[in-house]
């Protein structure tokens, strides 16, 4: 799965979702984004997001994560190259949207997962059809 729905909480405590293209390195996710986006304002007030991957409606994957803006230029360059050098469709060239890793409006978000739900339907109950992994990230 490549694209997922990502939900944030806006300034009025309402959910807001959009389709994004994170790239994962193990349990750490990366999102290339614009620093002046709506999600940037949302994450300033509440850094938590919820992602939904649905390649098969009977087996969705839900990931809850804490976001963090990456300012370290060495990390930004490394992850930029990770996106660029990962074969499509998982990877892509960020220069099309973000110009270069040191551009003022290029933002890099690190996702630290704290809950992953693997769901299988039909199941006798939601609990029996779900495998959950969690970690404390407080």
Matching CATH number, 4-134, of 2.30.110.10, 1.10.3720.10, 1.10.10.10, 2.40.50.140: 2.30.110.10
pTM of the complete model: 0.89
Distance, in Å, from the CA atom of 6 to the CA atom of 20, rounded to the nearest integer, reads 7
Burial 109-121 (b: 16+ CB within 10 A, else e): bbbebbebbebee
User: Where do the domains of the chain lie?
Assistant: 4-134
The tens digit of pLDDT for each residue in 68-96 reads 999 999 999 999 999 999 999 999 999 99
| Residue showing tokens 């660029």 | 84
Distance, in Å, from the CA atom of 27 to the CA atom of 114, rounded to the nearest integer, reads 9
């Amino acid at each position: 799965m490549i694209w997922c729905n990502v939900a944030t909480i806006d300034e009025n405590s309402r959910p807001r979702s959009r389709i994004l293209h994170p790239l994962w390195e193990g349990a750490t996710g990366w999102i290339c984004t614009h620093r002046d986006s709506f999600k940037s304002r949302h994450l300033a007030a509440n850094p938590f997001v919820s992602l939904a991957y649905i390649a098969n409606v009977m087996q969705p994957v839900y990931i809850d994560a804490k976001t963090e803006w990456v300012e370290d230029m060495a990390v930004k360059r490394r992850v930029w190259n990770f996106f660029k050098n990962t074969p499509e469709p998982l990877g892509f060239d960020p220069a099309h949207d973000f110009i270069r890793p040191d551009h003022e409006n290029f933002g890099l978000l690190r996702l630290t997962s704290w809950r992953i739900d693997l769901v299988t339907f039909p199941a006798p109950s939601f609990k029996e059809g779900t495998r959950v992994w969690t970690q404390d990230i407080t």
